[in-house]
Amino acid sequence: MKVTSLVLAALVGAAQAVLPPAEVRSYCVDIFRTAFPHQHWVTRGDLEQFIRKVNPGDNYFSCPEGVEDNTLTNFSQLELFEWFNHNFDPDMLKYSETIVGDVSVSGNVCSFEKTFTALMSEDCYVSVMSRLFMEITDDGMVKRWVDHFDGEELGRQMTVCSLGRHIPRTEL
Number of structural domains the chain divides into: 1
Q: Is 2 part of any domain? A: no
- Kindly report the average pLDDT of the chain as a whole number: 83
Average pLDDT over residues 19-47: 94
Q: Is 11 part of any domain? A: no
pLDDT per position as a tens digit, 57-75: 888 988 766 566 778 889 9
What is the full DSSP assignment across the chain? -HHHHHHHHHHHHH--SPPPHHHHHHHHHHHHHHHS-TTS---HHHHHHHHTTB-SSS-EEE--TTSTT-EEES--HHHHHHHHHHHS-TTT-EEEEEE-S--EEETTEEEEEEEEEEEEETTEEEEEEEEEEEEE-TTS-EEEEEEEE-HHHHHHHHHHHHHHHHSPP---
pLDDT score, position 1: 42
Q: What is the CATH number of the domain that holds 87?
A: 3.10.450.50
Q: Is 91 part of any domain? A: yes
Q: Is 6 part of any domain? A: no
Q: Is 38 part of any domain? A: yes
pLDDT per position as a tens digit, 145-171: 999 877 778 778 878 887 755 444 444
pLDDT score, position 52: 94
pLDDT at 117 over 60: yes
Of the listed ranges 25-34, 89-98, 105-114, the least confidently predicted one is 89-98
Considering 15-19, 36-40, 124-128, 143-147, the range whose residues carry the highest mean pLDDT is: 143-147
Q: Is 13 part of any domain? A: no
Q: Is 172 part of any domain? A: no
